[in-house]
Structure 1
Amino acid sequence: MNEFEKDVQAKSNDAIESGIGFGVSFLFFTIIFFTGVLIKAFG
């Protein structure tokens, strides 16, 4: 067995962290999109 498999740094669930990362990036791009929509609407 690999030595890194024996001594893992984080024992948390990777699916939860992946979901949080997806949510944050989705929110970021949504904000960018709506900023562009608002600039086009008021411009």
Structure 2
Amino acid sequence: MNEFERDPQSRNNDVVDSIHGFVWPFLFFVFIFAIGVVISVFGQ
């Protein structure tokens, strides 16, 4: 057995980490897009 499988640094579920890795950047870009939309609407 691999020594890294016997003593992992983190025992978190990878699915949870993957969800966090997708959601936070997605929300960041949605926020940036929303700021652009607000500026575009009020700039007219």
For normalisation by structure 1, the TM-score amounts to: 0.80
Q: How does 1:1-43 map to 2 (within 5 A)?
A: 1-43=1-43
Gaps of 5+ in 1: none
Runs of 4+ in 1 over 2 A off after TM superposition: 1-7
Identity, % of aligned positions: 53
Gaps of 5+ in 2: none
TM-score (norm 2): 0.79
